[in-house]
Structure 1
Amino acid sequence: MRRIDPRLLLIAGAAFISVSAILFRLSGVSSGTAAFFRCALALPVLVPLALWERRRTGPRRRAGVDVIAGLLLGADFVLWGASIDGVGAGIATVLVNVQVAVVPLLAFAVFGERPSRAFAPAVPVLLAGVALAGGIAGHGTSGTDPVLGSLFGAGAGLAYGGYLFLTRLAGHGQEHRAQPVLLATLGAGAASLAIGGPWQGVDLAPGWPALGWLAVLAVTGQVCGWMLIGAALPRLGADVAGALLLLQPVLAVALGAVILGERPALAQLAGCGLVVTAIRLAGRGSVSPRDDSGMGPRARGDARTGERADRAEVP
C-alpha cells in the first residue's frame, strides 16, 4: 500500500464505510445483531492477515488499548444501528461524524493539543445542523423517530470519537494494520453482545439472507474500510484527511436515496449540509498526523517568530 497515493486509499476506505448503513438496513436485523455479526464474520478474514503481519512485523504493542478502543467501537455500532432505524441510513451516517469535534477535545484535555481557531465557531453550526437533521423543523419520511434517532447518532459519534482517539494513541510508532483492526473487532464484538443483547437482543440465527448481507458488511465495512483508512491516515495531513472522509456521509445520503428510497425533508438535508460544513471547519488542522515524537500538539509555526509548540510525550 505504500506505493499507492494515500488519498486514493482514504477515498476507497470512506466508500466502503459509507455502504455499511445500506447493508444494515438490507439485512433487516436489530442493531445489536448487526454489530455482533459485523465483527464475528470479519474474524475469518482478519485472523490470517493478523498472523501473517505478526510474523512479518512482530507483535502489536499497546494491544490492550486497541481492545478498549474496540469496546467503544461496539457501542458506536449498536447506537448507530438504532440511529439508522430512527433517522434513516444517510442522515445517521452524517450524524455520527460529530466525532470530528470529539477527537480534538480529547486531544486537548489529555495532551494539551489546542484545536484550530476555526473549531470554536464551528461547534454551534454543528449543533444546529444536528438539530435540523434530527427533524426539529419537521420530520422526513426516512426514519421512524428522527429526534430519538439523532440522539442515538450523537451518542454513536461520541463513542466513535473515543475509538479514533485511542486508536491514534495505540498506533504511535507502529506499522501494523491488521492486528489493531482484529483486536478492536474482538472488543467491538464483546461490546455489541453486552449492550445490544439486553437492549434489542442479538439473534444468533438470523437466517441466510440476513447473514449474506451481514457477511458483505463485515468484509466491506469492518475489514476493507478500516484497513484502507488505517493505512492512509498516517501519510496524510489532518486537513486533507478530514476533507476526504467527508465523502462518507455524502455518499451514504446519496446511496440511501438511490438504493433504499429514503426521502429526507428539505430541512433535514439542510441540516446535513450544516453538519458537513461544520465538520470541515472543526477538522481543519485540529489533529495532526503521528510522527516519531508521539501524539503531541500539532506543530504550529508563528508567521512572525517561527516558533513551534513542544510535543507532548506518549506515556
Structure 2
Amino acid sequence: MTGTGERTQQTAPRGRLADAAPVPLAVAASACISASAMFVKLSGVNAGTAAFLRCGLALVALVPLALLERRRLGPRPVRAQRFDLVAGALLGVDFVFWAQSIHDVGSSIATVLLNIQIAVFPLLALAVTRTRPGARYWRTLPVLLLGVALASGAIGHPEPGSSPVSGVFYGAGAGVAFAGYLFLTRLGGGGAHTLHPVCVSTLAAGVTSGVLGAVWTGIDPAPGWGPLGWLTVMSLFGQVLALVLMGPALARLAPVTSAALLLLQPVLALVLGVAFLGERPTATQFAGCVLVVLAVWHTSRPGH
C-alpha cells in the first residue's frame, strides 16, 4: 500500500505528444506548415483578413480541446502562459507580414524568405541563454542572407509580376517574428500541456493580427465560402496541427537542430507552388533557394 508521502511525489500525468520522439514531431509540423502559403494564396484574401481569420477558425477547434486537456492535466503554470502570450503576439505579426509576402513574391518564395528565422533563432539563444551557435554558423550566415536576397528577386531576376523589394521586407519581418515565437515556445515548453499553449498563443496572435490587419490592410470578416474553406483547411493543418506538434518538439531539441528540421518547409512549399499554383521562379531565384537550403544544412550538420 502506497503511503501519502509517496503519492505526493508522483509526477503529473504527461500528454502523449510530450513523450513522443521530437524529431518526427518537428518533421510532421514542417510538412503541415509548408502547405499553408498555398492555401493562403488560394483564398485570395488580403493579408490582414488571412491572418485574423486563420486565428479565429483555429480557435474554434482549439478552445474545446484545450479545455479538455486542462481538465485532464490541470492548469498550465502561470509563467509558461506568459511565454505563450508573448510568443503569440509575435506570431500574429508573423501571420500578417507573411501573408503579404505571399501576395508580393508567391507562396513558395515567401516560405523560403520565412527561413530568415534560421539566422535569428540562434542569435536569440546566444543573447538570452548564452547558447553559442559556433563558428560554422557565422561563416554560413552571409551565404544564407545572399540566398534569401536571390530567392526573393531583390538581387537577380524576379518572377514577372512579383514585388521583390516589399516581398523580402515583409518576408524577413515575418521570419524575425517567427524566430521570436519559436524561441519563446522553446523557453516556455517542456511540460505536459500541448494544446493549451497553442490555444493561448493563437488567441494572442488573433488580437495582434486583428489590430495590425485592421490598421494596415483592413479585414473582411465574411470573404465568402470559397476563401473561408481554404483558410479553414490551412488553419486546421498549417496552424492547429502544426503548432501542436511543434511545441513539444522544440522544447527538447537544440536550437540549431530545430532550425535544420524546419528547413523542410521551404523545400516542400517550393514543390507545391510549382506543381499546384503554376508559380515559376526564375533561375536566380532557384539558385537562391538552393543557397538557403545548403547554408542551413551546412550550419546544422552533426559535429556543429
TM-score, normalised on structure 2? Answer: 0.88
Instruction: Give the match for residue 144 of structure 1.
Output: 162
Residue 55 of structure 1, aligned match among 68, 71, 80: 71
SS in 1 for 2:135: coil
Distance in 1 between the 2:46 and 2:298 partners?
34
Matches within 5 A, 1:217-228: 217-228=234-245
How much does 1:281 deviate? 3.4
Which residue identity is paired with 1:53?
A: E
Contact 1:66/1:180 (<8 A) preserved:
yes
Residue 72 of structure 1, aligned match among 62, 86, 90: 90
What CA deviation, in whole Å up to 9, does each residue of 1:115-156 have, x standing for no partner?
122110111001111111121111113x52022101110111
Instruction: Give the match for residue 29 of structure 2.
Output: 13
Instruction: Give the match for residue 247 of structure 1.
Output: 264
**Is 1:45 paired with 2:61?**
yes
Which residue identity is paired with 1:186?
A: L
Matches within 5 A, 1:1-315: 1=16, 5-61=21-77, 62=79, 63-135=81-153, 136-141=155-160, 144-171=162-189, 173-236=190-253, 238=255, 240-283=257-300
Contact 1:75/1:195 (<8 A) preserved:
yes
- Say if 1:243 and 1:112 are closer, same or farther in 2 by CA, change over 3 A: closer
Distance in 1 between the 2:275 and 2:168 partners?
22
Distance in 2 between the 1:129 and 1:11 partners?
23
Structure 2 portions without partners, runs of 5+ = 1-15
Q: CA RMSD in A?
A: 2.0
What CA deviation, in whole Å up to 9, does each residue of 1:193-250 have, x standing for no partner?
1111111111111111111111111101110111122233345455554333211110
Distance in 2 between the 1:113 and 1:123 partners?
17
User: Which protein has the bigger helix share?
Assistant: 2
Count matched residues.
Answer: 285
SS in 2 for 1:93: helix
| Percentage of identical aligned residues | 54
What CA deviation, in whole Å up to 9, does each residue of 1:58-104 have, x standing for no partner?
21122122111111000001100111111110011011111111111
Contact 1:130/1:272 (<8 A) preserved:
yes
SS in 2 for 1:217: helix
Distance in 1 between the 2:54 and 2:114 partners?
18
Distance in 1 between the 2:66 and 2:144 partners?
38
Distance in 1 between the 2:21 and 2:191 partners?
20
TM-score, normalised on structure 1? Answer: 0.85
What CA deviation, in whole Å up to 9, does each residue of 1:154-194 have, x standing for no partner?
111010011111111112x4221101100110111011111
- Say if 1:203 and 1:51 are closer, same or farther in 2 by CA, change over 3 A: same
Which residue identity is paired with 1:164?
A: L
Which residue identity is paired with 2:49?
A: T
| Comparing 3-12 and 16-25, the one that deviates more | 3-12
Distance in 1 between the 2:231 and 2:278 partners?
20
Distance in 2 between the 1:170 and 1:235 partners?
11
Distance in 1 between the 2:73 and 2:245 partners?
18
Which residue identity is paired with 1:250?
A: V
